[in-house]
């Protein structure tokens, strides 16, 4: 039994920990049925992973832990000699850390990797190989899902590669997130800078066409489970407001077209919101109401981490310059101990992530069995 169904309130519950296969689908369905979405947090080390798990436990929210290729490389160590192997091993190590600890925090976690463009397809394939080995040992893949961002390629080529990769993931119950249309901004070198001409609202290339979403649905739906990051004027990172107009109705129109042509209820698509940092709460809520189950949040949490550490340094400047105070011989070990200022950074992440969880409506909604 992957999950139990409570006779009294019909609430489905899951075993706490990393969710894959049928359990992953149960979690997604609960988000869409319940009108809430999960934060997808880019982590780069155990500090950020543990802060995310701690927040999820505190807020009783399920959560998505994800890594970019750069984050994975950093996790393995910037000094690791082979960059490709470091990306694969770093993400594998992070996933193993999450597998070991997620259940301990009592929440459900989706283990995911973030944007991979054409040249990073071998990174994702290296991780699928790790999942295949894990699947042989445990009956579960190491990752719940991966993301391919081939939105810079022509649509046919984007979908060809996605279909090939999904075919390999589907037997393990893994899901693939794809990207259609162009999200502005920069994500570890992947994405598209906003050019001079982009500062107006009718930049067609910043908005996904619903007919492209239908084409993706037709290509992938029979192969396995997939989710769609559609561009509706969203931007990676935080830029001065007002350059691009957010049009979440693009998500509604995509759901409507696929529903009318192929059925599957009024929200047949599982949608993902990229570039969520800095977005107004009302627009987040509107996007979630159209079937968004996941919102990426990276930039705002990077700032929250740095900002909290900066406050620690500002409050105790001498402790970061001297082991012992040159004027009064006071020892500063208790303040420069990395556990003190890294913990301050973790608390910064926790406070900001709690806000995101409130915006997304996922607080108190964990499916994890108590």
Within 10 Å of residue 206's Cβ, how many Cβ atoms?
24
Nearer to Zn ion, 132 or 186 (CB): 186
> Could you say which of 114, 298, 300, 359 is catalytic?
114
Nearer to Zn ion, 99 or 274 (CB): 274
Distance CA 276, CA 192 (A): 16
**Which runs of E-coded beta strand occur in the chain?**
4-5, 12-13, 17-18, 38-42, 63-67, 108-113, 145-148, 175-180, 184-187, 190-192, 226-230, 235-236, 271-273, 292-297
Element (H, E) at 69: helix 69-76
SS (H, E, C) 215-235: HHHHHHCCCCCEEEEECECCE
Nearer to Zn ion, 179 or 359 (CB): 179
Using the rule CB under 5 A, give the single segment among 6-14, 72-80, 171-179, 277-285 that binds Zn ion.
171-179
**Minimum distance from residue 114 beta carbon to Zn ion (Å):** 8
Distance CA 338, CA 340 (A): 5
Q: Residue count at the site for Zn ion (CB under 5 A)?
A: 3
Using the rule CB under 5 A, give the single segment among 132-140, 259-267, 273-281, 305-313 that binds Zn ion.
273-281
Using the rule CB under 5 A, give the single segment among 193-201, 268-276, 341-349, 352-360 that binds Zn ion.
268-276
Q: Which residue is nearest to Zn ion (CB)?
A: 274
Nearer to Zn ion, 179 or 298 (CB): 179
114 catalytic, yes or no? yes
| Residue 183 is a binding residue for Zn ion (CB under 5 A) | yes
Asked whether the beta carbons of 334 and 340 are under 8 A apart, the reply is yes
According to CB under 5 A, which one of 140, 274, 294, 352 is a site residue for Zn ion? 274
**Minimum distance from residue 134 beta carbon to Zn ion (Å):** 27
Site residues (CB under 5 A) for Zn ion? 179, 183, 274
User: Which positions are catalytic?
Assistant: 114
């Amino acid at each position: 039994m992957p999950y139990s169904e409570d006779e009294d309130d019909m609430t489905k519950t899951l075993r706490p920990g990393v969710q894959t296969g049928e359990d992953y689908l149960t979690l997604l369905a609960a988000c869409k049925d319940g009108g809430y979405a999960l934060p997808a947090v880019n982590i780069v080390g155990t500090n950020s992973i543990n802060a995310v798990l701690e927040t999820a436990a505190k807020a009783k929210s399920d959560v998505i832990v994800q890594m970019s290729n750069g984050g994975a490389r950093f996790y393995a160590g910037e000094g690791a000699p082979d960059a490709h192997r470091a990306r694969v091993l770093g993400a594998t190590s992070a996933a193993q850390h999450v597998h070991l600890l997620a259940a301990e925090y009592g929440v459900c976690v989706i283990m995911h990797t973030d944007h991979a463009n054409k040249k990073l397809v071998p990174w994702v394939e290296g991780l699928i190989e790790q999942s295949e080995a894990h699947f042989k040992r445990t009956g579960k893949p190491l990752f719940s899902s991966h993301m391919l961002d081939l939105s810079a390629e022509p649509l046919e080529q984007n979908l060809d590669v996605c279909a090939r990769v999904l075919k390999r993931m589907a037997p393990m119950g893994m899901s693939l997130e794809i990207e259609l249309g162009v999200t502005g901004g920069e994500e570890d070198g992947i994405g598209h800078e906003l050019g001079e001409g982009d500062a107006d609202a009718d930049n067609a290339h910043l908005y996904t066409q619903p007919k492209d979403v239908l084409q993706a649905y037709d290509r992938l739906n029979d192969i396995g489970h997939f989710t769609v990051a559609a561009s509706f004027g969203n931007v990676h990172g935080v830029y001065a407001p007002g350059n691009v107009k957010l049009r979440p109705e693009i998500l509604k129109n995509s759901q409507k077209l696929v529903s009318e042509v192929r059925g599957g209820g009024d929200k047949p698509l599982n949608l993902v919101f990229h570039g969520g940092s800095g977005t107004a709460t009302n627009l987040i809520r509107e996007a979630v109401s159209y079937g968004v189950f996941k919102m990426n949040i990276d930039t705002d949490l990077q700032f929250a981490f740095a900002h909290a550490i900066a406050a620690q340094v500002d409050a105790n400047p001498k402790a970061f310059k001297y082991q012992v105070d040159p004027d009064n011989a006071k020892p500063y070990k208790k303040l420069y101990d990395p556990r003190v200022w890294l913990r301050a950074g973790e608390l910064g992440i926790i406070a900001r992530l709690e806000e995101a969880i409130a915006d997304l409506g996922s607080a108190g909604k964990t499916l994890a069995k108590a």
